[in-house]
């Protein structure tokens, strides 16, 4: 597993690499933006996918016991979470399930709470379905980490909001929410009978000594209505193979989600998802452990460059995800000016922070899941451009 090796992705219809000119105005911009990795998948996933392709009959596909067993075994061994296979609903993506759950459990105009800055499809799901976006913004605590404003959330629930979107672990801030925080959230939502939709796609990308704490077991203890949304795609770098699942313990909510998926003919498994995900959960642990160690060193290298050469900027040290959230408010740049600075002067493409909500203004998100030389070059170009 040579993660230092560059694997050219231009000309592969890559979302990250094959629209540099269209999005950023130049083909020589270094892309460290959209959250996929520039590392090949675990060899076992590749072998399983190739074997599947060689069948040469790409027909309709059912959900297999092997897929269920691999998923449940992974979460039991990796996270001490015993998942009932009967509670699992397959979906094309986490965002698909999130959107359907919001649609099913709210009406147009209803308030839906998110905690910004947060993964931008959260706001899309709310606004494009004509719900009212209520932002209970995260706050930065005295450790320089994000914290939940539970008093603010209580006020929104008292005002009538009954659906809360949770990002656990948090994207873009890299926060891995502790059990005590999730318990407080669950207790508050139980008090107002609010439904929590927990996006846990980054569950496996957590750095020691932190550990992922699934929200659902806590919610069940508290009597909180909740759905967890998960996928192997982020963990094992297979986002081009649509595959996700929702854990829905409540039978009525589960049946409603399954009916909605069927109404749009989204209930069947993609042909390559079964073998790819099964192989990932059965054989991918050592690959993932190696990726986590490598990415953590990448993050440390990026932070060192910023702290040493641009001390006015502040890095929020991530507890999870492979994303680095950097406070560049000291530059005093508007979102448009910050994008121009990145693309034309620094020649890098990080995510400009306002896309994650107004509280992300003055931040950038850097994808560190790529060869270290590129991380060092891109972050170096960014800080060096500050002096020109």
What is the per-residue pLDDT across 201-222, written as a single tens digit (0 to 9) for each? 999 999 999 999 999 999 999 9
| Confidence class for position 1, pLDDT limits 50, 70, 90 | confident
Q: How confident is the model at residue 388 (pLDDT cuts 50, 70, 90)?
A: low
Distance CA 98, CA 110 (A): 16
pLDDT band, very low/low/confident/very high, at 74 (cuts 50, 70, 90): very high
Q: Is the pLDDT of residue 387 over 90?
A: no
Quick: pLDDT tens for 214-249: 999 999 999 999 999 999 999 999 999 999 999 999
What are the pLDDT digits (tens) for 274-297?
Answer: 999 999 999 999 999 999 999 999
- Per residue in 77-100, pLDDT (tens digit) is 999 999 999 999 999 999 999 999
Q: What pLDDT is recorded for position 92? A: 95
Can you give the pLDDT at residue 145?
Answer: 97
* Integer Cα distance of 327 and 191 in angstroms: 35
Query: Rounded to an integer, what distance in angstroms lies between the CA atom of residue 361 and that of residue 332?
Result: 10
Average pLDDT for 296-321: 98
Please, are residues 238 and 276 in contact by the beta-carbon 8 Å criterion?
Answer: yes
Rounded to an integer, what distance in angstroms lies between the CA atom of residue 316 and that of residue 146? Answer: 9
26-35, pLDDT tens digit by residue? 999 999 999 9
Q: Which of 134, 167, 133 is nearest to 148 (CA)?
A: 167
Question: What sign has the CA pseudo-torsion 319, 232, 89, 133?
Answer: positive
Would the pLDDT of 353 be above 70? Answer: yes
Collapsing DSSP states into helix, strand and coil, what is residue 211? Answer: coil
167: which residues sit within 8 A by CB, 6+ positions away?
Answer: 115, 118, 119, 122, 198, 199
Return the percentage of the chain with pLDDT > 90, whole number.
Answer: 98
Residue of 257, 247, 202 whose CA lies nearest to 227: 247
Assessment of whether the complete model's pTM goes beyond 0.95 = yes
CATH class of the domain whose range is 46-283: alpha beta
Per residue in 125-182, pLDDT (tens digit) is 999 999 999 999 999 999 999 999 999 999 999 999 999 999 999 999 999 999 999 9
Q: Look at residue 63 and give its three-state secondary structure.
A: coil
**What CA–CA distance (Å, rounded) separates 197 from 189?**
11
The percent of residues in the chain predicted with pLDDT above 70, rounded, is 100
d(CA 38, CA 326): 21
Place of tokens 């009212």: 132
Q: How far is CA 341 from CA 27, 99, 383, 384, in A?
A: 16, 34, 11, 12
DSSP per-residue string spanning 129-183? TTPEEEE---EE-TTSSEE--HHHHHHHHHTT--EEEEESS-TTT-----HHHHH
Q: What is the mean pLDDT of residues 42-51?
A: 98
What span, in angstroms and rounded, lies between the C-alpha atoms of 381 and 103?
Answer: 44
Residue 371 has pLDDT above 70, yes or no: yes
The ranges assigned to domains in the chain are 20-31+285-385, 46-283
Q: What is the dihedral of CA 27, 296, 199, 109, to 10 degrees?
A: -60
Pick the CATH number of 20-31+285-385 from 3.30.70.100, 3.40.50.1980, 3.10.20.600, 3.90.1150.10: 3.90.1150.10
């Amino acid at each position: 597993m040579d993660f230092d090796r560059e694997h050219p992705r231009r000309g592969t219809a890559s979302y990250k690499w094959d629209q540099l000119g269209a999005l950023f105005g130049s083909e020589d911009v270094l892309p460290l933006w959209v959250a996929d990795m520039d590392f090949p998948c675990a060899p076992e996933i590749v072998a399983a996918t190739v074997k599947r392709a060689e069948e040469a009959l790409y027909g309709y596909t059912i959900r297999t016991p092997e897929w269920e067993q691999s998923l449940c075994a992974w979460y039991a061994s990796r996270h001490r979470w015993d998942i009932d296979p009967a509670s699992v609903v397959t979906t094309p993506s986490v965002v698909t399930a999130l959107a359907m759950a919001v649609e099913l459990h709210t009406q147009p105009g209803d308030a839906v709470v998110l905690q910004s800055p947060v993964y931008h499809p959260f706001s899309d799901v709310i606004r494009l379905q004509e719900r009212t976006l209520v932002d209970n913004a995260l706050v930065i605590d005295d450790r320089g980490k994000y914290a939940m404003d539970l008093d603010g959330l209580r006020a929104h629930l008292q005002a009538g909001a009954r659906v809360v979107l949770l990002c656990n672990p948090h994207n873009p801030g890299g926060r891995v929410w502790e059990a005590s925080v999730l318990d407080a959230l669950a207790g508050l939502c139980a008090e107002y009978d609010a439904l929590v939709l927990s996006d846990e796609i980054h569950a496996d990308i957590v750095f020691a000594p932190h550990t992922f704490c699934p929200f659902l077991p806590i919610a069940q203890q508290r009597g909180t209505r909740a759905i967890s949304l998960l996928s192997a795609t982020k963990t094992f770098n297979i986002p081009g193979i649509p595959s996700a699942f929702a854990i829905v313990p409540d039978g009525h909510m589960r049946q409603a989600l399954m009916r909605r998926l069927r109404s749009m003919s989204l209930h069947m498994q993609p042909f390559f998802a079964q073998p790819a995900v099964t192989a990932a959960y059965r054989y991918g642990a050592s690959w993932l452990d190696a990726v986590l160690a490598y990415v953590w060193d990448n993050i440390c290298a990026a932070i060192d460059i910023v702290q040493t050469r641009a001390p006015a900027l502040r890095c929020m040290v991530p507890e999870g995800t492979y994303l680095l959230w950097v406070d560049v408010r000291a530059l005093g740049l508007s979102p448009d000016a910050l994008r121009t600075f990145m693309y034309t002067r620094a020649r890098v493409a990080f995510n400009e922070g306002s896309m994650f909500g107004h509280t992300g203004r003055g931040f950038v998100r850097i994808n560190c899941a790529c060869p270290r030389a590129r991380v060092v070059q891109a972050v170096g170009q960014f800080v060096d451009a500050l002096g020109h």
